[in-house]
Amino acid sequence: MPLAKIAKLIETQIVSMDAAVEAIQAASETLATESETIDTALGTLKDEVVTLDANVANAVNKLIEGCPITIGTPFTDFNATPVAAAATAQTIKAAPGAGIGIRINGVTFSNVTAAEVAILQLEDEDDNILAGPFSVGDPAVSGKGSHTIIFPQPIKLPANKALQVACIGDVGDSTALVYGYTESGL
């Protein structure tokens, strides 16, 4: 190949490389600008999140300040001896004292007798029904079983009243595990 043709080919390649370098530089400048825009947007978003967090914290504090009660110690309690049908209701949580009420967030009933079903309910110490009746167990699968109920709004017992579980129907020895807290200032 003649030398002039090789020189022309090299010159063409150099022009192409120069154009590629210019395109890369332009793309790099565009990326830098976009990166600055993203950084600015992230900074603004971070500031908005901090402001939102502060607003939520202020709202919660206002709710707490306006709350006339204090929440006592959370508890989990259960009846140690299974309750049987037609038996006297069993106390799960004793009366907490003057001006203090029991609040129930949830309960898990368990049937401990095979091939039997228990019908259970929660009551206060005056036998007022608080929740239930609930069926626990399935005789088709040996009866034993459990049933958990979560109360979106806690069940509220009057001040200084005990919480009981009663088995009101069918048969089967059963236990109740109750989740809740005490509330003072009542």
Confidence band (pLDDT; 50, 70, 90) for 74?
Answer: low
pTM of the predicted structure, to 2 decimals: 0.55
Cα 156 from Cα 183, distance rounded (Å): 9
Q: Which of 40-44, 69-73, 175-179 has the lowest mean pLDDT?
A: 69-73
Helix, strand or coil for residue 117? coil
pLDDT in tens, 137-152: 765 655 566 778 888 8
Confidence band (pLDDT; 50, 70, 90) for 17?
Answer: confident
pLDDT in tens, 143-179: 566 778 888 888 898 889 998 888 776 656 677 788 8
pLDDT of residue 161: 92
pLDDT in tens, 79-129: 555 566 556 778 888 898 898 888 888 888 777 666 666 777 888 888 888
pLDDT of residue 182: 85
Cis status, amide bond into 133, omega within 30 of 0 = yes
Tell me the CA distances in angstroms from 60 to 54, 74, 171, one per residue in order. Answer: 10, 20, 47
pLDDT of residue 51: 64
Cα 48 from Cα 58, distance rounded (Å): 15
Residue 68 has pLDDT above 50, yes or no: no
Cα 158 from Cα 72, distance rounded (Å): 15
CA 43 to chain centre: 31
